[in-house]
Amino acid sequence: MGMENDFLQGCISPRNFHGRYVILPQEVDFIHGLELGTTAKRFEENKDSLIQGEDYYISNRPIYEVKGRPLYLTASGYLKLTEDKEVQGKMFNYYFAGMIKTKESGGLWQEEINDLIGQIEDESNLKGTRILSLAYKELSAKYDVDLNRQKKKYLKSNREIDNISMLEVVHWLELTRVIPENALKLCLEKLYDETAFDIMSNGKE
């Protein structure tokens, strides 16, 4: 899959917070080959020079990867706490830049997906979980990818993570170009078109 896929494969699970893409300190440790806890320690040592809401966020919402309140580093916070220029360059080329592109192309990936699911729910009797299930089936067939196998592969490469949602797996696959960008969105749009066609065929408004 090339350098981009080799660099990102099994490293991090893409995530956003308050409309910005962020990374956990332990993920920074993993990517830079640092001892676990190094980036968190650097954060505490340099906290006075970092700006909350710009360089980092502290969330009240728990996640399974972290005990206590999660600390999220933004791109600027990541730069201030790391030193390896080569790895920094790859992170911006293959992680942050790719996510910025997604944002510029029409809103955050997660928000676009949720909006499409909401539209299909409004036009049908389908629930969100069923809609995603149908979209995953279409995606798997169209791009010849086994999502359950990819999920196991991700978790095997990230043993500190106990679980990951299938939606996160699909996002990771798009960012690492295992499947095309916006692949899930296209599948949901197709499902929406089919739902609208069924309603018209049944004589419903």
Domain boundary among 104, 122, 141: 104
Residue 93 shares a structural domain with residue 118: no
pTM: 0.48
Residue 50 shares a structural domain with residue 117: no
Backbone angles phi, psi at 9, to 5 degrees: -55, 120
Residue 72 shares a structural domain with residue 121: no
Residue 83 shares a structural domain with residue 128: no
Residue 67 shares a structural domain with residue 113: no
Tokens linked to 32:
């830079």
Confidence grade of residue 100 (pLDDT, cut at 50, 70, 90): very low
Confidence grade of residue 1 (pLDDT, cut at 50, 70, 90): very low
Residue 82 shares a structural domain with residue 141: no
- Distance, in Å, from the CA atom of 118 to the CA atom of 101, rounded to the nearest integer, reads 24
Is residue 131 within 8 Å of 121, Cβ to Cβ? Answer: yes
Counting residues of the chain whose pLDDT is more than 70, the rounded percentage is: 74
Confidence grade of residue 18 (pLDDT, cut at 50, 70, 90): low
Residue 114 shares a structural domain with residue 127: yes
pLDDT digits (tens, 9 = 90+) for 44-71: 999 999 999 889 988 877 777 777 888 9
* Look-up of token digits 């679980």: 163
Is residue 100 within 8 Å of 176, Cβ to Cβ? Answer: no
- Residue with more model confidence, 25 or 105: 25
Collapse the DSSP code of 176 into the 3-class scheme (helix H, G, I; strand E, B; otherwise coil) and give the result: coil
Q: HSE of 164 in the Cβ direction (CA atoms, 13 Å)?
A: 28
Domain boundary among 52, 72, 104: 104
Q: At 15, which helix (H) or strand (E)? A: strand 15-17
Q: Tally the domains of the chain.
A: 2
Counting residues of the chain whose pLDDT is more than 90, the rounded percentage is: 24
**Mean pLDDT for the chain overall:** 78
Domain range for residue 36? 2-104
The length of the chain, given as a count of residues = 205
Residue 82: its pLDDT value, please? 94
Confidence grade of residue 40 (pLDDT, cut at 50, 70, 90): very high
pLDDT digits (tens, 9 = 90+) for 105-140: 434 567 778 888 888 888 788 888 889 999 999 999
Q: At 117, which helix (H) or strand (E)? A: helix 109-123
- Distance, in Å, from the CA atom of 68 to the CA atom of 58, rounded to the nearest integer, reads 10
166-175 and 183-201 helices, crossing angle to 10°:
120
Residue 8 shares a structural domain with residue 74: yes
